[in-house]
Amino acid sequence: MLEWLKEPGFYGTHATIGADLSQSMAALFTVLFVIGWFQARRVRGHPHHWLMLGGMTAMIVFFTSYYLFRQLGVLAFEGKEGFGGPEALYENVFVPLLTFHITLVTIGLVMAIYMIVLGFRVQVIQGGRRVLKEMALRTTWRKVITIFGVITAIVVAYLLFLVGVDRFGVGKLVVWLSLLVLIAIVFSLEMVIQRIWPNGARRHRMLGRFTMIIYCVLFVTGSATYTMLYILYPGKIG
């Protein structure tokens, strides 16, 4: 499978099948989310719900398995050797662009999960229609700390399991601790955001727009990276 992903791609550029597949899926997901956004704007809750829930879940499953498969190699593999352009362009344009892209990917993944949870918490079915409840939706610190405690307990249990089967490593510890820190940051941000928009429906609309803008920018930065690596300045492929 890994070898197949490294074969020449299907768009006739210098990309591999893996990179072409990733770019095609990014285009497909962006189109799905934009259609889902328009459905929400037209007050069509059901199609919006299914497009967002299905699209976001498929996106998370595809990109995490794909990048884990490639051992998260974007900067490492395609960095210096993958980029065939001038050094100054690499340092001043390519690396900042890729770093910006990866930062947006992280925010986009967190927002996908957050928005789905928020969607379920704020929606109601009224006369067969799926709509947002116009009411205050506040989470208490007590609830947030309990949820965080449960997640931490699961992570600790998993790490102890890894120690038990002799597969524990410092790298894994760092990844799981970073995940816990990220969740703690998101929970703290949520406590601030719910003060700004106490109305759950309004919060879903405002953060939903923010998330959609992130996805559109993500597609642009991802496509720019693809164009630089595989069309304009191809280097070592793979």
Q: Give the tokens for residue 17.
A: 């099948």
Segment contacting ligand HEM (CB under 6 A): 36-44, 93-101, 170-178, 189-197?
36-44
Report the distance separating Cα 59 and Cα 112, nearest Å. 9
DSSP label at 207? H
Q: Does 236 bind ligand HEM (CB under 6 A)?
A: no
Stretch that binds ligand HEM, among 83-91, 114-122, 150-158, 171-179 (CB under 6 A): 114-122
The Cα 97–Cα 94 span in angstroms is 5
User: Is 200 one of the binding residues for ligand HEM (CB under 6 A)?
Assistant: no
Member of 10, 69, 120, 158 binding ligand HEM (CB under 6 A): 120
Among 131, 193, 224, 232, binds ligand HEM (CB under 6 A): 131
- 155-180 burial, b if ≥16 CB within 10 A, otherwise e? beeeeeeeeeeeeeeeeeeeebeeee
**209 touches ligand HEM by CB under 6 A:** yes
Listed ranges 6-14, 79-87, 117-125, 156-164: which one lies at the site for ligand HEM (CB under 6 A): 117-125
Q: How far apart are CA 141 and CA 119, in angstroms?
A: 20
Nearest to 72 by CA among 63, 62, 80, 59: 63
- 15, 19, 26, 56: residue in contact with ligand HEM (rule CB under 6 A): 56
Residue 130 · residue 226 · CB < 8 Å: no
Contact residues: ligand HEM, CB under 6 A: 37, 40-41, 43, 45, 48-49, 52-53, 56, 112, 115-116, 119-120, 123, 130-132, 204-205, 208-209, 211-212
